[in-house]
Structure 1
Amino acid sequence: MPEFDLDSFKKTWQEQPVQSKYDQNEILKMLNKKSRNYMKYIFWISVAEFLFFSILGLFYIVKSNDSQSFLSILEKMGVQKDVELETKLDNIYLLIKILSLLVTGFFVVIFYLNYRKIRVEEDLKKFIIRIITFKKTVNAFIITNIGLLIVLILVLTGFVFYILNTQHIELSGSEFTGFIVGIIASTVLCVMLIWIYYRLVYGIIMGRLDKNLKQLKEIESQENI
C-alpha cells in the first residue's frame, strides 16, 4: 500500500485552478441591477415624503391654526394680536409650505429622470457617471431641505423684529438674549434632527450604492489595463 503524503496532497490541491463563480459580465449586471434598485428605493422614499408633506400641508390649511403657537410666543413678548398680524403670519407659513412642496416635487422629478437614464446596455463609464450624478442629486436634496429650514427660521425671526418695531416694543437685555439663544438653539436642534433623519433614511441606501460604485470603478480600471 503506497504511503499517503499529506503535504504533497495539499500542494497539489492548492495548485489546482479555481473557477470563478461569476464572470465579469455577470458581476457587472448584478451591480447594475442592485444600483438601479437602490435608486428606485430613494425615488419612492422621496415620493412618500412629497405625499406626506402635501397631505400635512392641506390638513393645516383646512385647520388654519398653524400659526397659533407662534402667535402665543409673540403675545408673551408683549405683541398685540390682531387680524392683520394673523393674516401676515398665515401667508408666510403658506408661502414656506408651497416652496417646500415645490422643492420636494422638483427633486422627485429629478430622481425619477436619473433613475430612468440608468440602462443595463450602457457602457460601464456612463453607468458610473450616472451613479455619481445621482449621489450629487441626493446630497443637493438634503442640503436644500436644511437650507429651507434655516430660511424659514430667519424669515420668522425677521418677522418678529418687524412686529416689535411696528408696535414699538423694546425687549430688555435678558429678554433679547433669551430670544436670540432660543432661536440659535432651535435652529441647531432642528438641523441636527433633519440631518439624522436623512442619514438614517438615505444614508444606509447611499452606503450600499457607494459600495457598488467602488466595485464598478475597480472593474473599469481592470478593463483599462
Structure 2
Amino acid sequence: MPEFDLDSFKKTWQEQPVKPKYDNNEILKMLNKKSRNYMKYIFWISVIEFLFFSVLGVFYLIQSNESDSFLSILEKMGVHKDSQLVAKLDNIYLIVKILSLVVTGFFVLKFYQNYRKIKIEEDLKLFIIRIITFKKTVNAFILTNIGLLLVLMSAFIGFTFYIINIQNIEVSNSTLIGFLVGIIIGTILCVSLIWVYYRLVYGIIMSRLDKNLSQLKEIESQEN
C-alpha cells in the first residue's frame, strides 16, 4: 500500500486554482435586480407619503381649525383677530398644502419614471448612470421638502410683520425677539425631524444602493 503524504496533499490542494463562485455576468444580473428592487421600495414609500399627506390635507380642510394655534400667538402679540385675518391665514395654509402635494406628486412621478427606465439587460455604463440619476432625484426630494418647510416658516414671519404693520401694533423688542427665537427653534426641530426621518427611511435603502453602485463600478472597471 503506497504511503500517504499529508503535507504533499495539502500543498497540491492549495496550489489548485480557485474558481469564482459567480462570474461577472451573474453578479451583474443580481446587482441589477437588487438595485431595481431598492428603487421600487423608494417609489412605493413616496406613494404612501403622497396618500398620507393627501388624506391629512382633506382632514384639515374639513376641520378648518389648523390656524388657531398661530392665531393665538398673534393675539398674544396684540393682533386683532377678524374674519379677514383668518381668511388670509387659511389661504396661506391652503397654498402650502397644494404646493406640498404638487411637489410630492412630481417626485412620485420622477421615481416611477426612473424605476421604469431601469432594465436588467441594459448596458452596464448606462445602468450606472440611471442609478446615479435616481440618487440625485432622492436627494432633491429630501432637500425640496426641507426647503418647503423653510419657505413656510419665512412666510409666517413675513405675514406676522405684515399684520403688525397693517394694524399699527406696537410690539416690544423682547416680544419680537421671543417670537423669532421660537420660530427659529421650531424650524430647527422640524428640519431635524425631517432629516432623521429621511435618513432612517430612505438612508437605509440608499446605503444598500450605494453598495451596489460601487460593485457595478468595479465590474465596469474590470471590463474596460
User: Shared topology, TM-score over 0.5?
Assistant: yes
Distance 1:5 1:74 in 2: 92
Residue in structure 2 matched with residue 136 of structure 1 by the alignment = 136
1:208: Cα distance to partner? 0.2
Distance 1:148 1:136 in 2: 18
Structure 1 counterpart SS, 2:175: helix
Residue in structure 1 matched with residue 55 of structure 2 by the alignment = 55
Matches within 5 A, 1:54-133: 54-133=54-133
Distance 1:44 1:205 in 2: 12
**Structure 2 residue 45 is matched with structure 1 residue 41:** no
Structure 1 segments unaligned to the other structure (5+ residues): none
1:3: Cα distance to partner? 4.8
Distance 1:15 1:116 in 2: 47
CA deviation profile, 1:14-60 (whole Å, cap 9, x unmatched) = 11122222111111000000000000000000000000000000110
1:186: Cα distance to partner? 1.0
1:8: Cα distance to partner? 2.2
CA deviation profile, 1:155-191 (whole Å, cap 9, x unmatched) = 0110011111111112212112111111111111111
Structure 2 counterpart SS, 1:202: helix
1:2: Cα distance to partner? 5.0
Structure 2 counterpart SS, 1:81: coil
Residue in structure 2 matched with residue 203 of structure 1 by the alignment = 203
Distance 2:41 2:134 in 1: 13
Moved more, 188-197 or 164-173: 164-173
Distance 1:96 1:216 in 2: 41
Distance 1:87 1:72 in 2: 15
Moved more, 185-194 or 105-114: 185-194
Distance 1:210 1:40 in 2: 15
Residue in structure 1 matched with residue 222 of structure 2 by the alignment = 222
Q: Could you tell me which amino acid in structure 1 is paired with residue 219 of structure 2?
A: I
Percent of pairs identical after alignment?
78
Distance 1:176 1:80 in 2: 17
The alignment's TM-score, normalised by the length of structure 1, stands at 0.97
Distance 2:153 2:173 in 1: 21
Between the two proteins, the alignment pairs up a number of residues equal to: 224
Residue in structure 2 matched with residue 189 of structure 1 by the alignment = 189
Q: Could you tell me which amino acid in structure 2 is paired with residue 37 of structure 1?
A: N
**What CA RMSD, in Å, does the superposition of the two structures yield over aligned residues?**
1.1
Distance 2:214 2:7 in 1: 39
Q: Could you tell me which amino acid in structure 1 is paired with residue 28 of structure 2?
A: L
Distance 2:28 2:170 in 1: 67
Structure 2 counterpart SS, 1:170: coil
Structure 2 segments unaligned to the other structure (5+ residues): none
Q: Could you tell me which amino acid in structure 1 is paired with residue 126 of structure 2?
A: K
Q: Could you tell me which amino acid in structure 2 is paired with residue 85 of structure 1?
A: L
